[in-house]
Amino acid sequence: MSTPPPATLESPESPINWLILNAEEARAEFLALDHWVNFLRAAYGLPPAIIPPLWHRHDELIWELSALHLHWLNSYHPTASLSAPNHWHQDFAAARARLREWVSTNGTRLDRDRPTRITTWPGEPQMPTTGEIEIVDRDADFRRFLDEDSRQRQRDAS
pLDDT digits (tens, 9 = 90+) for 51-108: 999 999 999 999 999 999 999 999 999 999 999 999 999 999 999 999 999 999 988 9
pLDDT of residue 46 exceeding 90, the answer is yes
Distance CA 128, CA 118 (A): 9
Q: Is the dihedral of CA 36, 3, 12, 22 positive or negative?
A: negative
Q: How many CB atoms lie within 10 A of CB 127?
A: 11
Domain boundaries, the chain: 23-117+130-157
Instruction: Find the mean pLDDT for residues 2-9.
Output: 57
Q: What CA–CA distance (Å, rounded) separates 99 from 118? A: 18
Q: Is the pLDDT of residue 7 over 60?
A: no
Per-residue pLDDT at 4: 59
